[in-house]
Chains A and B, each alone.
Chain A
Amino acid sequence: MKRIGIIGSGNVGANSAFFMAENGTATVTLVDIREGLSEGKALDLLEAGPIRRYDTGIRGSADITAIRGSDIVVLAAGRVRSPGEGREALYRDNAPLVGELCGEIRALAPGAVVINVVEPVDMLTLLAGRVLGFDRGRVLGVGGLLSSTRLRHLVSRALGVSPREVTGMVIGPHRPGMVVLEDTVRVSGVPVAQLLEPEALCAIVEETRRAGDTILELSERSTAYYAPSAAVAALARAVIRDARTILPVSMRLDGEYGLRDIALSVPARIGAGGAESVIEVALGGREEKEFRDAAGDLRRSLERAGAGAGPGE
């Protein structure tokens, strides 16, 4: 059985473990600095097993060395965003923690694929990759995959059809400037433009961009965690099963889409080695501009936060 270590046993970490257990993905170890929290959540999950009919191994620990030798490590620690808060302040708070944890991961699980879900996800995925020193395909952030599942839900709701056959890919930075690839928005292969009015699709795209904020505002204190956890679990499952499935993930680019030294979501083929190749799709004129603008915004954020990757880094 493959092993997954999850660092951070908050809502995202614990629910990722829950989805992984239900899918029988791998043995899960939850780790959190808060003494007892991981042990308690692991025990609670195990006690649900007889009813939910899973028998996945789940354990919890306050000691990070429990993740030693993991095939996948999920970074789900740190602080979440407050309503109205910008991403740079959050970066300044979470970056030292992510840097420190990546130093530990490098020593404890040098062969792992690392999945980062800590916000701001693109900036911290870039930082994680730099500290880990892993091949870039083994340092992935959950961004586009999360927005894509939200988009697919919204399209299925608008059309009154099952979400299972709805496709739709969101790429670019995980912020309001994200790019919805309109040609990928389809139902059983039929383009959504044949099924939905243009205004309705526009409204859905806007709602997708704002989806994280909408949940944050509704719940006041808590950020979304079911859909983010589902995205983490889907990514982990694709790696564990060597699914070679194409998913939009945040990763450092090395010339693809004309960008380098920046991490943002692009379609990639996900298998046992993490992102095994980046798929470069043709962007429409408007999409191309949106993508450049959003990448430019992200790069300026990185510079303001003092996280820009200069030459020689």
Chain B
Amino acid sequence: MPGKKVSIIGAGNVGATAAYYIAEKVMADIVMVDVAEGVTRAKAIDFLHAGPMRGYDVSIEGTGDYAAVADSDLVVVTAGVARKPGMDRMDLLRVNAGIVKSASKMIARYAPNATVIVVSNPLDVMCHVVYRTTGFAVQRVIGMAGILDSTRFRYFVAERLGCAFTDVHAMVLGGHGDQMVPMPRYTTVAGIPVSRFLDADELERLVDRTRKGGAEIVAHLKTGSAYYAPAASVAEMAEAILTDRRTLVPCAVCLRGEYGIENLFIGVPVILGKNGVERIVEVELEPQELQLLRRSSEAVRKGVEELETFFTVR
């Protein structure tokens, strides 16, 4: 993709691995911005050293200076802290909202035409922070959530069935993780509904494992959390947007009455293309699924309302 530029705010494991996937798959120039300037610069140089072997010939820069994101086509926001012992949910929300808010101001200043992919947690609320602070068009602020849940679910189904994981397609709705609304009806193996292969109990077990997919990795790692699948999800979205691939995937986007939800970022199927969210797809939901989606959205609304006080107090 000649001339495309992607900036990644936060060069931790998710940010740096996303940079790697995007450099390899999309051939976009990459800028990584992080307060840890030396480490970020080192990662960029290391990536460049691998280029001759891996065959990407893009420019990769690591810096602490936001001016480097100038004229980016796409900005990925991964900055934020993980919850530390003794921090409650609201503490985390405040700390990350502060970080994401200041990043958003810089994005608006230096890359006013960019599309933004939000990865920082709590995801659906951080999308609001980016949307409000940048003032960008609603279709240009997109949260990475459902695509990660669905890739995990697809993997679990394929592993259980012993089939190729590319055979499995799935759609999930709602918030990320605990708030995910799985859609077994929209899960297929080579297009064949998954119910042909797995009974409801087995599916429920896989759904439950997906809900706890992030925690499962954390439990293994002890310190740190998943980053390969999250970064791959970011790269998939980046590729769809930069190459106008028009792919139908679940992402957190701002609903304006779709699914009966107003002004809230929540995970739903969308078509991603060069304009960001090209279209929000309203799939048919059964009453129980709709109820789960509403419940999921109420949790997001609560976070947003808590944030309102934060914004006004400051």
Contacts and interface: CB of A to CB of B under 8 A. Distances in A.
A187 B171 CA distance: 10
A87 to B, nearest CB: 27
A293 to B, nearest CB: 22
B248 A244 contact: no
B192 A187 contact: no
Interface in B126-177: 150, 162-164, 166-167, 169-171
B247 A169 contact: no
Given A167-B190, A281-B192, A161 B55 contact: no
Contacts of B247: 161-162, 164-165, 188
B281 A167 contact: no
Interface string B251-277: 000000000000000000101000000
B190 A187 contact: no
Interface string A194-212: 1100000000000000000
A243 B161 CA distance: 12
A246 B246 contact: no
Contacts of A185: 191
B190 A186 contact: no
B284 interface: yes
Nearest to A161: B246
A48 interface: no
Contact of B169 (A167, A169, A195): A167
Interface in A149-179: 160-162, 164-165, 167-169
Interface residues of A, number: 32
A190 interface: yes
Interface in B23-77: 55
Given A169-B192, A188-B171, A245 B164 contact: yes
A246 B192 contact: yes
B186 interface: yes
Contact of B187 (A53, A169, A189): A189
Given A183-B193, A194-B283, A267-B192, A188 B249 contact: yes
Interface in A239-260: 243-247
A238 B166 CA distance: 12
Residue with the greatest number of chain B CB neighbours at <10 A, chosen from A165, A184, A188, A243: A188
B249 to A, nearest CB: 6
A53 B54 CA distance: 11
Contacts of B250: 188
Contact of B188 (A164, A186, A245, A279): A186
A184 B192 contact: yes
A80 interface: no
B229 interface: no
Contact of B190 (A161, A164, A184, A190): A184
Contacts of B190: 167, 169, 184, 245-247, 267
A185 B163 CA distance: 19
Contacts of B189: 246
A53 B57 CA distance: 14
A195 B192 CA distance: 18
A269 interface: yes
A247 B245 CA distance: 25
A245 B158 CA distance: 10
A189 B166 contact: no
A164 B248 CA distance: 10
Q: Which 7 A-B pairs have the closest CB atoms?
A: A184-B191, A167-B191, A245-B164, A246-B190, A189-B186, A189-B171, A189-B169
Interface of B: 55, 150, 162-164, 166-167, 169-171, 183, 186-193, 196, 240, 245-250, 269, 271, 281, 283-284
Interface of A: 53, 160-162, 164-165, 167-169, 181, 183-191, 194-195, 238, 243-247, 267, 269, 279, 281-282
12 contacts: A161-B246, A162-B246, A162-B247, A165-B248, A167-B188, A169-B191, A184-B190, A188-B250, A245-B164, A247-B190, A281-B192, A281-B196
Given A245-B167, A246-B190, 20 more contacts: A53-B55, A161-B246, A162-B246, A165-B247, A167-B169, A167-B188, A169-B190, A169-B191, A184-B190, A188-B171, A188-B247, A188-B248, A189-B186, A190-B283, A243-B164, A244-B163, A245-B163, A246-B164, A281-B196, A282-B196
